[in-house]
Amino acid sequence: MQKLGVHEKLELHELLTFKTTCITKTQTMLPLVSDSNLKNILQQDISCGTQDIQQLRNLLV
């Protein structure tokens, strides 16, 4: 794999920050949701977002 440029690392860091913020918001809202279908969607979003974050972290290593 080729080395990433500084601007590419910065963009990955911005994506990590955004995804982390999204997961935090979803986790905060989850206890307030009473609809089971919506809860499932939010839980899937958390799961996918967590996987995305791990993939982005792997790119930065």
Say how many domains are in the chain: 1
Residues 20-46 have a mean pLDDT of: 98
**Assigned domain for 16 exists:** yes
Q: 1 versus 40: which is more confidently predicted?
A: 40
Q: Which amino acid is at 8?
A: E
Distant-in-sequence contacts of 14-23, Cβ < 8 A, 24+ apart: 15/56, 16/53, 16/56, 16/57, 16/60, 19/49, 19/52, 19/53, 19/56, 20/53, 22/49, 23/49, 23/50, 23/53
**Assigned domain for 43 exists:** yes
3-state secondary structure of 3: coil
| CA angle centred on 46, ends 59 and 43, rounded to 5° | 155
**Assigned domain for 34 exists:** yes
pTM comes to: 0.85
- pLDDT per residue over 47-57, tens digit each? 999 999 999 99
Note down the domain range covering 15: 6-60
pLDDT recorded at residue 1: 57
